[in-house]
Chain A
Amino acid sequence: MFEFGPIVRTLWRNKTGAILIIIQTALTLGIVANAAFVVDQRRQIIERPTGIDDQHLFSLQLAPLSETSFSYQDVQRDLHEIRRLPGVIDASFSNTSPLSNSGSSSDMTNEEDPQKPMAAMVDLYSTDSHGLNTLGLTLLSGRFLEEQEVTASSSFEDGSNSIKAVVLSRSLADKLYGKDVDPTGKLLNGLPVVGVVASAMVSYVAPGYTDGVAFIPRFATNYPPNYVIRCQPQQCEQLMVKVPELLEKLDPNRMVRNVRTMADNKHNSYRRDRSMVVMMTATIILVSAVTGLGIVGLTLLWVNQRRKQIGIRRALGATQLAIIRYFLLENVVITGIGIVVGVIISLAINQLMVQHYSMTALPVSYLLSGMVAVWLLGLLAALMPAWRTIRISPALATRNI
């Protein structure tokens, strides 16, 4: 069938060039398959929904100039004034700037069944009754925290007993009580669970760092508070100037710091993943370009080298299409072998990445699509040089002999 025999025999007699292209194709597949997998993984991490209204939120932190203790009355006054500003949907205090990847985390255990305690890593997020509406969370069952439940004390005072209620995110309730079990009304570490909200990322965005969020109505007087403000569309920008001015006016004896949108926080928290996406994508493009252009160049040289033979074949009755087919088929054979070797190289590269750099194993689907992509790349690269054989006239055969 076709010219398989002659192609393989020709390549065999002129091995070096073909072998080089085979190795090159194999390495290219190794890079493309692994890099594409990493890119996809990181993109999935970056694009996970946060579950909060992160496009319309900003936060700021207060820092005292003198006394190190904050009064909750001041915080209530500040928040009350902020909520009255036009453009503000709601505002609440918190222990951290949401999505900043820093906050307070703790192990919690549900010991309802002492034989089978269920433990989870918890993102402990302090807020008030406005926390639900400020973050834009959905209440699934029970209720959210209430204003009179907020307790204000130094973190050195015995705080754990004074917490009057806790609201869990769905993912945390799943981990502590079982899938879709409603924990409302139960006790967690002695704290009454009063409600469940939809799963969301609040303090942390790092995947797997915590199992979910526990909202507690607690104000620590010895830590600088954060205010989280939810604005109407397009209002954040002006409010990020107005709110600090307002706070300055209410009490000049403090600094307003770290005025940041949640979009910025998200951007910073995902910086590593994003740079990996950019660098890996650049590598994929560059390696495809180098290999593609390399195949173009080499096929062009081969076409030029064989002009005389092509002329003879044409003179003996081969059609232009048959000549083009010959070169494409030759390319298919070479990249085909390269791809087979490339599968081994891809798996080897991936194995090294898994062993030494704690990456995940390469799924077969990426290998398969990588194979198709590299194969198509080779074919496309050979198309233009092969097309140029059309211009070789059969008359060439009659010259120079």
Chain B
Amino acid sequence: MLSYYLQLAWLSVRRTPVMSLLMILTLAVGVAVSMTMLTLQHVMSTNGLAAKNDTLYALQIDNASAGDGGTSSGNKLTNGLPYLLSYRTVTTLLRSDIPLHQVAMHRWAAALSLENNQVRPSKELVRVTSRDFFALFGVPFIYGQVWDKSADNDARYQVVIDRTMNQRLFNGENSVGRSLQLDGRPYQVVGVVEDFNPLPSVQDLTQGAFGGNASIYLPFGLHRALQMMPYGSMTYSSSHPRPQPQEPLTPEQQYEQILQERYFWMQYWVELPDADTKNAFVSYLRNYFDEQRKTDFFERDFKYALSTPSQWLALNQVVSNDTRVMTWLALVFLAVCIINTIALLLAKLLKQAPETGIRRALGASRSAIFIQNLVESGVIGVLGGLLGIALSQLGLGLVRTLVSRDEAAVVYSDGLTLLLTIALALLASIIAGCYPAWRVSRTSPAYYLKNQ
């Protein structure tokens, strides 16, 4: 019976080609536009740390100045807390042994070269981090191991590079013990890790959703030796005027001020495997904060946030308000398309009502009529859905030309979004087909027979 209905449906589509094409196109465009936006939203909220989402937390402490009233200023996230910490705070926190792992880090940039000039010099993004980075984010070592603990406190010119960088510099060989140059200074390779490039770069969203992935890692003990400044944001905020020294300070003293005063430029992640450790860490944090509050290093009352990677993505508004607004409008547009299809389908099926009347008079049940008409709308829906999938690929292509190159690299549909597209197309066609089919199956045969 179904194949017969399909045949009838196809005949009916053929009989009104323009109208049918219009319905198919309408559904297709509606599905394509909404799927383009849903895919964009989906890829932008990809959580590269989903596997460790229950145990990793990004730390925020309310270190804003006393006079700071606004929540919208550039250095705060949507929860009203600043997202950067001071060097002094993170080096104190690093001494705690409560978290399983903890990471203090920031971005840096340097000119990369090899002694023998084998590679073309280039400016590279460098992650300056404490040694737990690899354990905390689950980045496995291919060769060698992480630098020694002392390298996080004292200047050791050691470096860890990732697989891609190792391929580029040393043809993928075991490069442990060899050296590379950053700003002309030699660093010894102590380890090679797998690439860690989540997109968006959830571990560091300070310079945009894709700006946090580095291929070179330096230990945390080099700050004073190199007078490192972040390749990214650093803010100074205090309600007290900066102390004016009697004599001019040496550069070393000036840099020490940056490390010890209210300069904010660090990110902090902790791994807290269970609720007990989490509570212990929070109370440790509170003690530290209250103690520093007395000396006015913190100017406001204790407030903190520990955010899981998925919360962190949301707080940083990786999916921008623009994208969300566009997605909602796209869904409203889909509603318009579905309503449009219902109206057209209804009018078309009602036009065929005389035939339906005859079928009913010849003994067909209401449900048989309903199914016949539903098959007809289903054919339109499936065709619209298929075309919609093709058009949504076009839509994503358009989006790729609009966004930045980094973002364009991820704006592709994956298995999930393709499945969702098919589901959405089917759902749209069923919604669009059900009511007209039901309406037509209710018509009384007598009325149409009389008119023949």
Residues of A within 8 A of B (CB): 16-17, 20-21, 23-24, 27-28, 30-31, 34-35, 38, 63-68, 154-158, 209, 222, 255, 257, 268, 271-272, 274-276, 278-280, 282-283, 286-287, 290-291, 293-294, 297-298, 300-302, 304-305, 349, 352-353, 356-359
Contact = CB atoms under 8 A, between A and B. Distances in A.
14 contacts: A17-B346, A17-B347, A31-B336, A156-B227, A156-B251, A156-B254, A209-B74, A275-B399, A283-B33, A286-B333, A290-B29, A298-B347, A353-B328, A358-B321
A17 B436 CA distance: 10
B183 interface: yes
Q: Looking at chain B, what size class is its interface with the partner chain?
A: 35 or more
B202 interface: no
A63 B339 contact: no
B403 A275 contact: yes
B111 A64 contact: yes
A301 B348 CA distance: 7
A290 B333 CA distance: 9
Interface of B: 19, 22, 26, 29-30, 33, 74, 111, 113, 121-123, 183-184, 226-227, 229, 245, 248-249, 251, 254-255, 258, 320-322, 324-326, 328-330, 332-333, 335-337, 339-340, 342-344, 346-348, 350-351, 398-399, 402-404, 439
B343 A298 contact: yes
B344 A272 contact: no
B122 A255 contact: yes
A contacts with B: majority SS: helix
Given A16-B346, A274-B402, A290-B337, A283 B329 contact: yes
Contacts of A157: 248-249, 251, 254
Nearest to B226: A68
Nearest to A158: B248
Contact of B22 (A20, A38, A297): A297
A66 B343 contact: no
A68 B351 CA distance: 81
A20 B342 contact: yes
A342 B121 CA distance: 60
A247 to B, nearest CB: 15
Contacts of A38: 325
Contacts of A154: 251
Nearest to B257: A156
Given A31-B332, A272-B320, A298 B344 contact: yes
A304 B347 CA distance: 10
Identify which of A23, A67, A158, A290 gathers the most chain B CB atoms within 10 Å of its CB. A290
Given A16-B439, A64-B183, A157-B249, 20 more contacts: A17-B346, A20-B339, A21-B343, A27-B335, A27-B339, A31-B333, A158-B254, A209-B74, A271-B402, A272-B322, A275-B399, A282-B33, A283-B329, A290-B26, A290-B340, A301-B344, A302-B347, A304-B351, A349-B329, A359-B321
A167 B408 CA distance: 41
Contacts of A302: 347
B contacts with A: majority SS: helix
A219 to B, nearest CB: 16
A358 B78 CA distance: 12
A80 B45 CA distance: 49
A297 B344 contact: yes
State the 4 A-B residue pairs at the shortest beta-carbon distance, nearest first: A66-B184, A275-B402, A156-B254, A301-B347
B26 A294 contact: yes
A280 B248 CA distance: 56
Contacts of B403: 271, 275
Given A287-B336, A298-B344, A255 B121 contact: yes
B163 to A, nearest CB: 25
A378 B402 CA distance: 32
A154 B255 CA distance: 11
A222 B333 contact: no
Contacts of B227: 156, 222
Identify which of A20, A31, A278 gathers the most chain B CB atoms within 10 Å of its CB. A20
Contacts of A283: 33, 326, 329-330, 333
